[in-house]
Amino acid sequence: MIGLVCVLFLDFGSTIVLRWWAVSMLVVGWLVLFVLACVWWVPRPRRLPWLAVTGLVVWVAVVLGVTLATR
């Protein structure tokens, strides 16, 4: 869960370099990951770090994709 909070800070920190719609997509994606983490909290706790890794990979892909697309 700490990893997901770090990803949320990255998402909101991206407002400096990304457009509002890209940040909105990142936050909606984070909400999906957070709900999934809450569901998996007791039955599958070993999968939670992978959600943070997924959020980080998605963040990198969106930042690179939007930056290259708006050039």
- Per-residue pLDDT in tens (0 to 9) along the chain, 71 residues: 899 999 999 999 999 999 999 999 999 999 999 999 999 999 999 999 999 999 999 999 999 999 999 88
pLDDT, position 70: 86
What single-letter amino acid sits at 62?
A: V
Measured between alpha carbons, how far is 58 from 64 in angstroms, rounded to an integer?
10
Measured between alpha carbons, how far is 8 from 2 in angstroms, rounded to an integer?
10
Return phi, psi of residue 18, to 5°. -110, 160
What does pTM read for this prediction? 0.90
pLDDT, position 71: 82
